Chains A and B, each alone.
Chain A
Amino acid sequence: MNFDDTPQEAEFRAKARAWIDANAPKQYEDELRKASLGRVVLKGANILEVAKAWQKKKADAGWAVPHWPKEYGGRGASPIERVIWQQEEGVFGKLTAMFIIGQGMCGPTMMAYASEEQKRHYLPPLGSGEKVWCQLFSEPAGGSDVAGLRTRAEKDGDDWVINGQKIWTSGAHYSDYGILITRTDPTVPKHKGLTMFFLDMKSPGVEVRPIKQANGNSDFNEVYFTNVRIPDSQRLGAVGDGWNVSLTTLMNERMSIGANVATGFPELFDYCSSLTLDGTPALDDRAVRSKLANWAVKASGLRYTSFRSISALSKGQRPGPENSIGKLVAGSMIQEVAMYALDLQGAAGVLSGSEDAEVAGRFQAMLLRSPATRVEGGTDEILRNIIAERVLGLPGDIRVDKDVPFNQIPTKGRA
């Protein structure tokens, strides 16, 4: 048992570190370090521009998507090298947030299902950040039950005509392309009538409307489709096979192993380390100590769980199921941490302005953003189902709509 790199890993790490050291946008390092969930501020700079510039610089040197094949803009790095890159990129990795969905989910789906010509055309600019992609899956009537989606695609000559609405599409407002799952046959059971496409987000009939979220920000969108035409050549996978294609995408979402899941704990411990309560250090307070200790072991448990997965990668093995707990643990933890930080501030905890609030309002921002962490990319409940079924081998829930033609499934709860 050790934490040492193999000689090859050490060599890769040294190369990555040297390049980052010479090229990273260090002027933003401090602000990025202080950024936390719900609050990323770069004073006097547009974060999208900074992010795109960093991504392009990486791409020119072959570091943008190191784990992708060379012909699509990567450097053919192994899974463990990908993790080492992320570790070395450190806080600058926060700048890649806007590319995660495109590179992490759309890219692998394109790699699995697009033609060779399409891959060579679309993947390199996706890797370099010159083109941003989004993923058009969730709908008002299909969240956790994403196979319940209703956006229609109907064949018309060599084209498909799309009508319907997507929701919770991250980054649709600055995306150039998207992958889109649609219903092509409503007369068969719901999983069987789906088909996947990719499209140009500038296509006529696509309308992106930002959602004003509960925390007041707008990171997500609704996307409306009105007679949008997509050529059949942009279909991914067979007609009616969209559900299987989407599983490729979703599996990739859960493979992001080296990525740090935000728990809020480092921020809270840091805050408590300099806080005094009734004239004595907060860290001398029994109640504070107990709370912190319980969160500390969750945060360390997640860190060492990812080390176990990384070790499997290092040996060329597939990681075990242990990594599936990350978002489930971190999501509710960051919400509790934020609430506790406000509690420690007493009545003034209610203040959220960066001038008046403690530590520039980072915990207030965290509080207001955190409910989404327990919903996005799989709710806590869906994640528990996945652990129960795929890890523990428990039977699936009884699905009353499984064998019913989609157009006969009830759509209203109460009349």
Chain B
Amino acid sequence: MNFDFSDDQKQLRDQARRFLAEKCQPKAVRAVLEGKADYDRDLWKGLAEMGFLGVAIPEEYGGTGAGHLELCVIAEELGRVLAPVPFSSTVYLAAEALLLAGSEEQKQKWLPKISSGEAIGTLALFEGTGNPSPAAVKLAVSNGTLTGTKKPVADGAIADFAIVAARTGNSGRETDVSLFLVDLKAGGVTAKALQNVDPSRQQAELTFAGAKAEPLGAANEGWSILSRVMDRAAVLIAFEQVGGADRALEMGRDYALDRIAFGRQIGSFQAIKHILADMYVSATLARSNSYYGAWALSTDAAELPEAAASARISATQAFQHCAKQNIQVHGGMGFTWEFDCHLYYRRANALALSLGSQSYWEDQLIDRMRQKNAA
């Protein structure tokens, strides 16, 4: 059994960590958080130059073709530093959708631009409150154009193109949904940035008014493509969450070592130690579940749907738990704007919703376990 990343992958992790320690300090996250920029362009350019944007994109489409385990490694490092860039929208969602279902022409057009950092992509799925479901997709298609509204769309206001879920049938089944690729700069789409709990990553409303759209994948197979894209993204975002959880745990641990109260390090009090031990427990469970997800993703295993749901649920819990308890360990200082604790708290709670909420993934997991049992 070799249930671990390889030495080369660990080297890549060290390389990414060194790069991000320089290029993505908390002040860079705060610049976006405080509205001084809509995303960190220098960092985005640097990620392209390092080959990180195209790490799972084959060489023929301008990537490095390293693979998905390597992408998991990068994701964890981006999660640790709360990278304020549209990486997940572009790489986990748009690029994965193109790789799974794009035509040769679509792949040739967009994947090299993703690898080089020239194009930002996103997935436009949600239409207001509620979890992903075929019935919730209302956006209409007529004569190759789209009409309707999507929100929230992660990074929607800075994206160059979007993969859009639209209604192409009324049978009440999954096959009512098809996917389209829309060049957001080609007219017919207006974008409005929306306030959200984690302003270090943008959310937007996209209004389509007769926007030109080309099909992505076969007609009426949109939902099944989406499900596969979401599973893949769930594993990758789980690694961001694992990275964030680990960093929040380290911040809490470091503060408990530095802070003196009642004449001693607060980390010597069992009340604080036990909080931190429980953070370690949830972070460890999440990491292990995510490793299994990484294995399933990288081998395209039949276990991927169940593994992805487990990784997603576990990593969401861990990051939320660690971010929340990190503030608790910091006491009042943890609730100041000046300390970075709230950056992790914000990101943890935003990521928890980014692919549909925890209850959605709980449902997915049970359905999948049930199918496996029945089989």
B319 at the interface (CB under 8 A from A): no
B310 touches A384 (CB 8 A): no
Neighbour of B273 across the interface among A290, A292, A314, A388, CB < 8 A = A388
Query: Which of B2, B265, B278 lies at the interface centre, i.e. has the most chain A CB atoms within 10 A of its CB?
Result: B2
Q: Given A283-B366, A298-B285, A301-B285, do A394 and B268 touch, yes or no (CB 8 Å)? A: yes
Q: Given A273-B370, A393-B253, A394-B273, do A2 and B285 touch, yes or no (CB 8 Å)? A: no
Q: Interface 1/0s, chain B 281-298, versus A by CB < 8 A?
A: 100111111011011001
Q: Which of A7-24 contact B (CB under 8 A)?
A: 9
CB neighbours (8 Å) of A311 from chain B are 1-4
Q: Given A381-B274, A397-B270, do A294 and B362 touch, yes or no (CB 8 Å)? A: yes
Q: Given A297-B285, A297-B289, A311-B3, do A398 and B264 touch, yes or no (CB 8 Å)? A: yes
For the complex formed, measure the closest distance between the CB of B129 and the CB atoms of chain A, giving whole angstroms: 18
CB neighbours (8 Å) of A304 from chain B are 3, 288-289, 291-292
CB neighbours (8 Å) of B314 from chain A are 297-298, 300-301
A322 at the interface (CB under 8 A from B): yes
B351 at the interface (CB under 8 A from A): no
B366 touches A289 (CB 8 A): yes
Q: Interface 1/0s, chain B 310-341, versus A by CB < 8 A?
A: 10011001000000000000000000000000
Q: Interface 1/0s, chain B 257-274, versus A by CB < 8 A?
A: 100000011011010111
B1 touches A293 (CB 8 A): no
A4 at the interface (CB under 8 A from B): yes
Number of interface residues of A (CB under 8 A): 50
B5 at the interface (CB under 8 A from A): yes
A409 at the interface (CB under 8 A from B): no
B373 at the interface (CB under 8 A from A): yes
B3 touches A3 (CB 8 A): yes
Q: Interface 1/0s, chain A 205-242, versus B by CB < 8 A?
A: 00000000000000000000000000000000000000
A350 at the interface (CB under 8 A from B): no
* Distance between Cα atoms of A298 and B292 in the complex (Å): 13
For the complex formed, measure the closest distance between the CB of A170 and the CB atoms of chain B, giving whole angstroms: 26
For the complex formed, measure the closest distance between the CB of B285 and the CB atoms of chain A, giving whole angstroms: 3
Neighbour of B277 across the interface among A308, A312, A388, CB < 8 A = A388
For the complex formed, measure the closest distance between the CB of A196 and the CB atoms of chain B, giving whole angstroms: 29
* Distance between Cα atoms of A296 and B253 in the complex (Å): 28
Q: Which of B348-373 contact A (CB under 8 A)?
A: 359, 361-363, 365-366, 369-370, 373
A346 at the interface (CB under 8 A from B): no
A293 touches B3 (CB 8 A): no
Number of interface residues of B (CB under 8 A): 50
For the complex formed, measure the closest distance between the CB of B347 and the CB atoms of chain A, giving whole angstroms: 21
- Give the nearest-CB partner of B256 in chain A: A394
B276 at the interface (CB under 8 A from A): yes
| Inter-chain residue pair count (beta carbon < 8 A) | 163
Query: Which of B280, B286, B287, B373 lies at the interface centre, i.e. has the most chain A CB atoms within 10 A of its CB?
Result: B280
B370 touches A283 (CB 8 A): yes
* Distance between Cα atoms of A302 and B287 in the complex (Å): 10
CB neighbours (8 Å) of A303 from chain B are 288
Neighbour of A1 across the interface among B4, B272, B280, CB < 8 A = B4
A289 touches B289 (CB 8 A): no
* Distance between Cα atoms of A369 and B313 in the complex (Å): 29
A384 touches B285 (CB 8 A): no
B289 touches A300 (CB 8 A): yes
B114 at the interface (CB under 8 A from A): no
Per DSSP, chain B at the interface is: helix
B69 at the interface (CB under 8 A from A): yes
* Distance between Cα atoms of A305 and B249 in the complex (Å): 18
- Give the nearest-CB partner of A323 in chain B: B284
A141 at the interface (CB under 8 A from B): no
Query: Which of B257, B267, B285, B294 lies at the interface centre, i.e. has the most chain A CB atoms within 10 A of its CB?
Result: B285
- Give the nearest-CB partner of B370 in chain A: A283
B288 touches A322 (CB 8 A): yes
CB neighbours (8 Å) of B285 from chain A are 297-298, 301-302, 305, 325, 329
For the complex formed, measure the closest distance between the CB of A322 and the CB atoms of chain B, giving whole angstroms: 5
Q: Given A1-B3, A301-B286, A322-B288, do A292 and B280 touch, yes or no (CB 8 Å)? A: no
A269 at the interface (CB under 8 A from B): yes
Query: Which of B249, B277, B362, B373 lies at the interface centre, i.e. has the most chain A CB atoms within 10 A of its CB?
Result: B277
A269 touches B369 (CB 8 A): yes
A385 at the interface (CB under 8 A from B): yes
Q: Which of B197-254 contact A (CB under 8 A)?
A: 249, 253
CB neighbours (8 Å) of B370 from chain A are 273, 283
* Distance between Cα atoms of A381 and B269 in the complex (Å): 12
B278 touches A384 (CB 8 A): yes
A293 touches B291 (CB 8 A): no
A5 at the interface (CB under 8 A from B): yes
A413 at the interface (CB under 8 A from B): no
CB neighbours (8 Å) of A393 from chain B are 253, 257
B292 touches A314 (CB 8 A): no
A385 touches B313 (CB 8 A): no
* Distance between Cα atoms of A297 and B298 in the complex (Å): 20
- Give the nearest-CB partner of A311 in chain B: B3
Q: Which of A372-405 contact B (CB under 8 A)?
A: 381, 383-385, 387-389, 391-398
B284 touches A397 (CB 8 A): no
Q: Interface 1/0s, chain B 103-116, versus A by CB < 8 A?
A: 00000000000000
A310 at the interface (CB under 8 A from B): yes
A307 at the interface (CB under 8 A from B): yes
* Distance between Cα atoms of A273 and B4 in the complex (Å): 33
* Distance between Cα atoms of A385 and B273 in the complex (Å): 7
B69 touches A1 (CB 8 A): yes
- Give the nearest-CB partner of A314 in chain B: B1
Q: Given A283-B370, A296-B310, A395-B267, do A325 and B280 touch, yes or no (CB 8 Å)? A: yes
Neighbour of A384 across the interface among B5, B277, B317, B362, CB < 8 A = B277
Q: Interface 1/0s, chain A 271-311, versus B by CB < 8 A?
A: 00100000000010010011011101110111111011011
CB neighbours (8 Å) of B267 from chain A are 388, 394-395
10 A-B pairs with least C-beta separation: A301-B285, A388-B273, A293-B362, A304-B288, A384-B277, A387-B277, A394-B267, A305-B288, A297-B314, A307-B3
List 13 A-B residue pairs with CB atoms under 8 Å apart, sorted by A's residue number: A1-B2, A1-B69, A289-B363, A293-B365, A300-B289, A302-B285, A308-B4, A308-B288, A322-B284, A381-B274, A384-B273, A388-B274, A394-B257
**A contact residues vs B (CB 8 Å cutoff):** 1-5, 9, 269, 273, 283, 286, 289-290, 292-294, 296-298, 300-305, 307-308, 310-312, 314-315, 322, 325, 328-329, 381, 383-385, 387-389, 391-398
Other 6 A-B pairs with CB < 8 A, given A308-B3, A325-B281? A273-B370, A293-B362, A294-B317, A296-B365, A391-B280, A395-B264
